[in-house]
Amino acid sequence: MFLPSRRGFVQSAAAGSMLMPGILSELLAADTVDPLAPKAPHHKAKAKSVIFMFMSGGVSHVDSFDPKPKLIADHGKQVVFDHPEARNRPGYEKLFLKKPNWKFAPHGKSGTEVSELFPRVAEQVDDIALIRSMHTSHSNHYNATLGMHTGSFSFARPSIGSWLSYGLGTVNRNLPSFIVLAPQMPYAGTQVWASDFLPGSHQGTRVVPGKEPVANLARRVPTDKRQQLELDALKAFNESHLATRPEDADLAARIRSFETAAGMQAEMPAALDLSKESEETLALYGLKRGQQDGFGWQCLVARRLVENGVRFVELIHTGSSGNWDSHGNMAEHGKLAPQVDQPMAGLIQDLKRRGLFDDVLVVWTSEFGRTPFNNTADNPGREHHNWAFSSWLAGAGVKRGIVHGATDEHGIRAVEKPVHVHDFHATILHLMGLDHEKLTYRHAGRDYRLTDVSGEVVRGLLA
Q: Which is nearer to another protein, 226 or 289 (CB)?
A: 226
308 binds another protein (CB under 8 A): no
What is the DSSP secondary structure assignment for residue 98, as one 8-state letter? -
221 binds another protein (CB under 8 A): yes
E strands, 288-409, are 312-317, 360-366, 369-370, 373-374, 384-385, 389-395, 402-404, 406-407
Burial annotation 76-111 (CB, 10 A radius, 16+ → b, else e) = eeeeeeebbbbeeeeeeeebbbbbbbbebeebbebe
**How far apart are the C-alpha atoms of 302 and 180, rounded to whole Å?**
9
Please state the closest distance from residue 257 (CB atom) to another protein, in A: 4
**How far apart are the C-alpha atoms of 87 and 265, rounded to whole Å?**
52
Residues paired with 181 in a beta bridge: 207, 315
**Of positions 1, 40, 105, 261, contacts another protein by CB under 8 A:** 261
35 binds another protein (CB under 8 A): yes
Binding string, 177-196, against another protein, x = CB under 8 A?
--------x-xxxxx--x-x
Contacting range for another protein; rule: CB under 8 A; set: 105-113, 129-137, 341-349, 440-448? 440-448
**Of positions 248, 273, 279, 416, contacts another protein by CB under 8 A:** 248
94 binds another protein (CB under 8 A): no
320 binds another protein (CB under 8 A): yes
**Of positions 72, 253, 377, 415, contacts another protein by CB under 8 A:** 253
Number of Cβ atoms within 10 Å of the Cβ of 293:
12
**Of positions 60, 201, 349, 390, contacts another protein by CB under 8 A:** 201
Query: Which candidate, 166, 162, 163, 155, places its Cα nearest to that of 188?
Result: 155
245 binds another protein (CB under 8 A): yes
Q: Which is nearer to another protein, 65 or 324 (CB)?
A: 324
Please state the closest distance from residue 241 (CB atom) to another protein, in A: 5
Residues near 109 by Cβ (< 8 Å), separated by ≥ 6? Answer: 126, 401
**Of positions 37, 72, 208, 217, contacts another protein by CB under 8 A:** 217
H helical segments located in 216-293: 224-243, 249-272, 279-284
Q: Helix, strand, coil shares of the chain as percentages rounded to 5?
A: 35, 15, 50
**Of positions 37, 70, 142, 377, contacts another protein by CB under 8 A:** 142
Contacting range for another protein; rule: CB under 8 A; set: 90-98, 148-156, 158-166, 417-425? 148-156
Please state the closest distance from residue 122 (CB atom) to another protein, in A: 30
Q: Which is nearer to another protein, 175 or 284 (CB)?
A: 175
137 binds another protein (CB under 8 A): no
Binding to another protein in span 336-375, by CB under 8 A: none
Contacting range for another protein; rule: CB under 8 A; set: 73-81, 112-120, 251-259, 371-379? 251-259
**Of positions 247, 276, 290, 378, contacts another protein by CB under 8 A:** 247
Please state the closest distance from residue 409 (CB atom) to another protein, in A: 22
Query: Which candidate, 58, 155, 28, 129, places its Cα nearest to that of 441?
Result: 28
216 binds another protein (CB under 8 A): yes
Please state the closest distance from residue 67 (CB atom) to another protein, in A: 30
Tell me the residue type at 204: G
44 binds another protein (CB under 8 A): no
Query: Burial level of 360, CB count in 10 A (0-12/13-18/19+)?
Result: buried
Query: Which candidate, 19, 24, 55, places its Cα nearest to that of 391?
Result: 55
Largest CA distance in the chain: 81
**Of positions 5, 223, 275, 278, contacts another protein by CB under 8 A:** 223
Residues paired with 8 in a beta bridge: none
Q: Which is nearer to another protein, 115 or 201 (CB)?
A: 201
Please state the closest distance from residue 191 (CB atom) to another protein, in A: 6
Handedness of CA 115, 338, 131, 126 (dihedral sign): positive
Q: Which is nearer to another protein, 194 or 419 (CB)?
A: 194
Burial annotation 318-330 (CB, 10 A radius, 16+ → b, else e) = bbbeebbbbbeeb
Whether residue 51 contacts residue 306, with contact meaning beta carbons closer than 8 Å, is answered with yes
Binding to another protein in span 225-244, by CB under 8 A: 225-227, 229-230, 233-234, 236-238, 240-242, 244
15 binds another protein (CB under 8 A): no
**How far apart are the C-alpha atoms of 322 and 325, rounded to whole Å?**
8
